[in-house]
Structure 1
Amino acid sequence: MLLSLCTALLAPTRALLALQRLVARLAVAAAVAAAGVVYGLWGLGVLLRWGPRRALRWRVRAEPPPGLADGTYGEHRHLRLKNSGLRLHYVARGPPTAPLLLLLHGFPQNWFCWRHQLLEFSTRYRVVALDLRGCGASEKPPGKESYRPEVLLEDVREVIEVLGTPEGHVGATAGHPKCVLVGHDWGGVLAWELAAGHPDLVEKLVIIDASHRAVFARFSAWHPSQLLRSSYVFLFQLPLLPELLLSMADFELLKTTLTGPRTGIQNPARRLTEPELEAYLYSLSQPGGLTPPINYYRNMFGDAPVPRERPPCPVLLLWGAHDAFLDPRLAPCLRHRMAPTAHLHLVPNAGHWLPEDQPDTVNHLLWDFLRGTE
């Protein structure tokens, strides 16, 4: 009888939760349809402006540009993950026994976005810039399911356990290596959850222009302008169309994203050169190169609950004041909900690509944080 009573009392709550899930799914479906129409019209405009022959042509890069595959910024190495068997590529610089500083990139980038930090911090740290699975020179397993958040987090966890040897790590114990974890964009999304879910592995956390998934959903519900900034997220839920649109006119949309006056690097002295831009296009231009990173987004709206635990370690939060994709008002919201004691810096005259846009400022703030003078 008691069980029946409890079931009856919980029935309205369950019905309300089911209704909320249904409304959320319908809202996402509507946003996906709208994004498909808007971006589809953009693609039609490209076809009309340049003609089908040019618009539907893109070039597969045969050779990597200077700096991407050579030893300019560090030693190129690969790690075979024990659990999945996947082979991940990373660039490492600094003494092998020094504390691990692990750098996680976002979309549409790879390890190369951390080149300034590889050079800067290798005097005191073993700096490792990882190519996440499906990106750069790391292996690219097929299928959307291979890019679920929990799978990506397991990759990063294993990388820390293998590369983060305890020697020289403050607070580390035998068998529990620590690292300083730095994430930008998607790398930051993963860093939030890794630091909260595996506090024994992360000594300090640095988030650069990246939201926690739970906070992002709540913020977007109250700030519709963020949905416009993130319209590409809804486009990426569709099959095939995102890959086609991003490839059109030799990756024109990606080039604009990284170099455009509103969306690209804001610092005139740091705007991407042609070889630097090609460092990102090289991998993406290979057959099937766009699908794996887009699959990160295709797993954003799954049924699995989003972890909401706060990372217990010290947190540094850096944000470009002119980020075109993530509203700067999201940064204090993140601090309030996920890291109340975090050090937050809104960097003026900087956009979304902060490690490349203002590397001197980023490096200075990161040094202060690492030395405990922040």
Structure 2
Amino acid sequence: MTASDGVRLSVTIGGRSDGPTVVLVHGYPDNSSMWGGVAAELGAKHRVVTYDVRGAGQSGKPPGRASYRLDQLADDLRAVVDEVQPTGRVHLVAHDWGSIQTWHAVTGDALRGRIASYTSLSGPSLDHAGAWFRAQLSRPTPKRLKNALSQFLHSWYILAFQVPFVPDLLWRTGLLGRQIRRMEPDAALPEKADGLHGLELYRANMFTRLSRPAPRPADIPVQVLAPTGDAYVTTPLQTEVVRWVPDLRIRRIVGTHWVTRAKPAVVAAAAAELIEYAETGTESRALRRARPGMGPFAHKLVVVTGAGSGIGRATALAFAGRGADVIITDVDRASAAETLKQLGERGVAEYTVDSSDGEAVHRFAERVRAEHGVPDIVVNNAGVELSGSFLGTSAEDWERVVDVGFRGVIHGCRAFAPMLVERAEGGHIVNLAPAAALSLSARLRAELTADHIGVTAVGPDRRGLGPEGVAREVLRAVEPTP
């Protein structure tokens, strides 16, 4: 198709023809092929549109800095939307410079009434970013100064791209593309032409917008997916936009700047949830908990095993009292049902599960994922306490203690930890375990740290606190640090 200034834009339409239309806007130094995995995931239920922005891929590569200004890029997006869907509303998902230009479009007037939702990754509005920097420096606190300095250090390349000739030469020789690939294993090797022509994006827009910001609000549902390991855009810069976005969701995704390539299913699933909300008004639990200002446990899904009585019941009630949605298990159906009744509206479901049965625990975990989604917090609490003297107990009694108290922890961790890793939004596992399980918890904590999944062990020495005291210990361990 032809843009308003005559530049030809290469547009591809795929997916389900009768589904909601989703337009994917790529960043720099990519082209629309970057969306291959995400488009495939979305295509089962959505009509998916990708296009090469000007200067990239199969689209035209106009000379001159003025051809790459934000107003023109936003007009290109408007033209694509009008071409692929002349009436009605579309959904937008954008990454990096695609996000920057999409923010400019959705906060302006050209697409007003035509956009149903917007999911942004790794690219803020330049006007919002300029205002954010001013706020950090005009009302400095140690935290704000640290955030501003961190973003300055992450943005070194912006200054480098303003230098004449040098970055152009580095792109032509292929050195810059290979360096990006070395720094970001999840990135594809960029096309030289895409990198070279896209330099004008920085030269035409960065300093003019950042030095004289004119932030505008977005009047549509917006979701910011912030990769935790983004080497170029820090989380505060992306997410501290609530004053300009009344209907905002913020989700931190475990991954690097190119999480779109590395974890397309995660990105697509999150985008699909916002699309579903905009189309039907149905808001997933993940979207509810992603609203800014929610408490640390509000709308989080918590699984507590052995919750029919004692510490398990107290822990389930404590989470529910802080706004969490709680799923409980116990080997005794009647006691589990009583706990669920006490949980009230915060009780999601109760299941009869023997934690010593590994296959049963895995079946339970799969059922939870299918019926309620991946939990945010898992408390492996089930245990057996023996009464009477040592000589008065049998070997079978002690085997049962080990099966439930130790192997039950292993089964719970093995069933739920892979789900938390795959979801890529962090989480926490708490093991109320005998001493033998403490080393297991420490090893698992080290293994899952990179996935932002915490693991806490509450040993038998804390049992003297009583059920409510141990429940408070669990919440204190899981609550995120401000």
Q: Taking structure 1 as the reference length, what is the TM-score of the superposition?
A: 0.66
Is 2:152 aligned against 1:239? Answer: no
**Deviation string for 1:94-147 (max 9, x for gaps)?**
244543210111111110110012111122222111100011110001111111
- Counterpart check, 1:258 vs 2:181: yes
Unaligned runs of 5+ in 2: 137-147, 278-283, 288-482
**1:326 equivalent among 230, 233, 243:** 233
CA distance in 1, matches of 2:238, 2:195: 29
Contact 1:230-1:325 within 8 A present in 2 as well: yes
How far is 1:292 from its partner?
2.1
1:206 aligns with 2:119: yes
The residue matched to 1:338 in structure 2 has which SS? coil
Total equivalences in the alignment: 263
Q: Distance in 2 between matches of 1:307 and 1:341?
A: 20
Residue of structure 1 equivalent to 2:14: 93
The answer as to 2:274 corresponding to 1:369 is yes
Match of 1:337 in 2: 243
- 1:151-230 matches, cutoff 5 A: 151-166=72-87, 172=88, 178-197=89-108, 198-220=111-133, 222=136, 223-230=148-155
Asked whether the equivalents of residues 171 and 196 of structure 2 are also in contact (C-alpha less than 8 Å), the reply is no
Q: Distance in 2 between matches of 1:219 and 1:357?
A: 29
Percent pairwise identity: 25
Q: In 2, distance between residues paired with 1:290 and 1:112?
A: 14
1:255 shift after superposition = 2.4
Instruction: Give the partner amino acid of 1:209.
Output: S
Deviation at 1:218, TM superposition (A): 3.5
Q: Indicate which of 187, 202, 205 corresponds to 1:297.
A: 202
8 Å CA contact 1:104–1:129 kept in 2: the answer is yes
**1:108 partner SS:** coil
TM value normalised by structure 2: 0.51
Local SS of the residue matching 1:219: helix
C-alpha change, 1:313 and 1:127, in structure 2 (3 Å) is same
1:305 deviates by 5.6
1:80 maps to amino acid: T
Task: State the Cα deviation string for residues 30-51 of structure 1 (Å, max 9, x = none).
Answer: xxxxxxxxxxxxxxxxxxxxxx
- Matches of 1:337 and 1:294, distance apart in 2: 31
The structure whose Rg is larger is 2
**1:80 partnered with 2:2:** yes
SS at match of 2:77: helix
2-structure distance, mates of 1:259, 1:365: 28
Shift of 1:326: 0.8
CA distance in 2, matches of 1:98, 1:242: 42
The separation in 1 between residues aligned to 2:266 and 2:195, in whole angstroms, is 31
